[in-house]
Structures are given as C-alpha cells and as structure tokens.
Amino acid sequence: MADPDCDFQTGESGASATYPMQCSALRKNGYVVLKGRPCKIVEMSTSKTGKHGHAKVNLVGIDIFTNKKYEDMCPSTHNMDVPDIKRLDYQLVNISENYMSLMSDNGDVREDLRVPENEVGKEIEAKFEAVAHSCLFLPSTCWFCHSHS
C-alpha cells in the first residue's frame, strides 16, 4: 500500500457503512455523506423557495479523512446517508523505525501504521519518550467508498 494512512478507510466487515436519516434531523457537529465522502457537518442552515415553499437544508461538511470541504443542498424531507463512524482506542506499545505497535482492547496488536509526519506525530513521539507508553485515539470506520447511482 502506497500510503499507509489510507488504511483507515478500509473496513473489516461487509456490514452497511451508512444508514439513512431525514435531512432535517441532521445536526451540526454530526456526520453525513456529501458527494460520496464521509463528512463532519460544520454548518447547517435552512432556506425555502417562496413564501409557501418547503424548507431546504444547506449543508457544509469537512471530509473526516482529507479535511476537504463539501457542500450540498437538499429538501429537508429527503433522506441523506449518514456514515457509521466507529472510534477505536489503541494503546501505543512501541515505536520502531517510525512504525507504531498498537494494542487494541482485546489484546490484538497491529504494526502497520506509521507515525504521522505532523504535529500529532511529534506529540506522540514526545509523549512516548516521556512515559514510554501513552494512550492515543485513532478514528476508524467501516467505511467503503460509497457510490451513489
């Protein structure tokens, strides 16, 4: 795999990665699929067409993996797909040649993730140095690239 970060996006099972939700029931800070990408909703507003028209919802979301911004507008009665986000906590056991050994709650260890090359990565290393072990969170999701047809 060229970019190990992409590994976040593959899921472990074939279960449905999204479920439908009425657009008006979405909330700011919640999640939604915009243009096929799982996004965190950062802005949500309603508008209507004409005095006797029905409400429309304008959504602005940030892709949870790429931080890219997506926008969409749909009638508030329509259903939107909501990604089933699951968050897994791993304990950092070791760092070896920039790869981390991570232990999940049931004791399984995975060693396929590189220390991110950014501020978070530096922080992980620093903390690891300091206490030799530390807790960190990684977002994980049973997310498949969902295509709308």
Partner 1 sequence: MRACVCVVCSQIKGSFIPPLPSAAPPSMVSTEQRQHAEHVFLSFRKSKSPFAICKHILETSKVDYVLFQAATAIMEAVVREWILLEKTSIESLRAFLLTYVLQRPNLQKYVREQILLAVAVIVKRGSLDKSINCKSIFHEVGQLISSGNPTVQTLACSILTALLSEFSSSSKTSSIGLSMEFHGSCKRLFQEEGLRQIFMLTMEVLQEFSRRENLSAQMSSVFQRYLALANQVLSWNFLPPNHILSLSVNVTLKPTESWREALLDTRVMDLFFTVHRKIREDSDMAQDSLQCLAQLASMHGPIFPDESAQVSYLAHLVEGLLSMINGIEIEDSEAVGISNIISNLITMFPRSILTALPSDLFTSFINCLTLLTCSFGRSAALEEVLDKDDMVYMEAYDKLLESWLTLVQDEEHFPRGCFIQPAIQVFNSYIQCHLAAPDGTRNLTTGSCSQDQLSSIGMLGRVAADHCIPLLTSLLEDRVTRLHGQLQRTQQHLMASSDPGSVDRKVLDDLYEDIHWLILVSGYLLADDPQGETPLIPSEVMEFSIKHSTEVDINTTLQILGSPGEKASSIPGCNRTDSVIRLLSAVLRTSEVESRATRASLTELLSPQMGKDIVWFLRRWAKTYLLVDEKLYEQISMPLSTAFGADTEGAQWIVGYLLEKVINNLSVWSSEAELANDTVELLVTLVEKRERANIVVQCESWWNLAKQFASRSPPLHLLSSSVQRSLMKALVLGGFAHMDSDTKQQYWAEVLHPLQQRFLNLINQENFAQISQEEAVKREIVATLEALCGIAEATQIDNVASLFSFLMDFLSSCIGLMEVYSNTPETINLIIEVFVEVAHKQICYLGETKSMKLYEACLTLLQVYSKNNQSRKRGDATAEEDQYQDLLLIMELLTNLLSKEFIDFSDTDEVFRNQDQGTPASNRTVSAADVVLYGVNIVLPLMSQDLLKFPSLCNQYYKLITFICEIFPEKIPQLPEDLFKSLMFSLELGMTSMSSEISQLCLEALSPLAEQCAKNQEKDTPLFIATRHFLKLVFDMLVLQKHNTEMTVAAGEALYTLVCLHQAEYSELVETLLSSQRDAVIYQRLADAFNKLTASSTPPTMDRKQKVAFLKSLEEFVANVGGLLCVK
Task: For residues 5 and 1, give the distance between their C-alpha atoms in angstroms, rounded to a whole number.
Answer: 9
Are 33 and 82 contacting, i.e. CB atoms less than 8 angstroms apart? yes
- As measured in angstroms, the least distance from the Cβ of 110 to partner 1 is 17
- As measured in angstroms, the least distance from the Cβ of 97 to partner 1 is 29
- As measured in angstroms, the least distance from the Cβ of 3 to partner 1 is 25
Nearest to 39 by CA among 81, 6, 3: 81
- As measured in angstroms, the least distance from the Cβ of 52 to partner 1 is 4
SS3 99: strand
- Assigned token pair, 108: 């399984």
The smaller minimum CB distance to partner 1, of residues 98 and 110, is found at 110
- Assigned token pair, 52: 């006797």
Are 101 and 92 contacting, i.e. CB atoms less than 8 angstroms apart? yes
The smaller minimum CB distance to partner 1, of residues 78 and 133, is found at 78
Are 78 and 23 contacting, i.e. CB atoms less than 8 angstroms apart? yes
Residues that bind partner 1 (CB under 8 A): 22-25, 27-31, 46, 48, 50-55, 75-77, 82, 84-87, 89, 105
- As measured in angstroms, the least distance from the Cβ of 31 to partner 1 is 7
The smaller minimum CB distance to partner 1, of residues 26 and 100, is found at 26
Nearest to 76 by CA among 145, 129, 23, 137: 23
The smaller minimum CB distance to partner 1, of residues 4 and 131, is found at 131
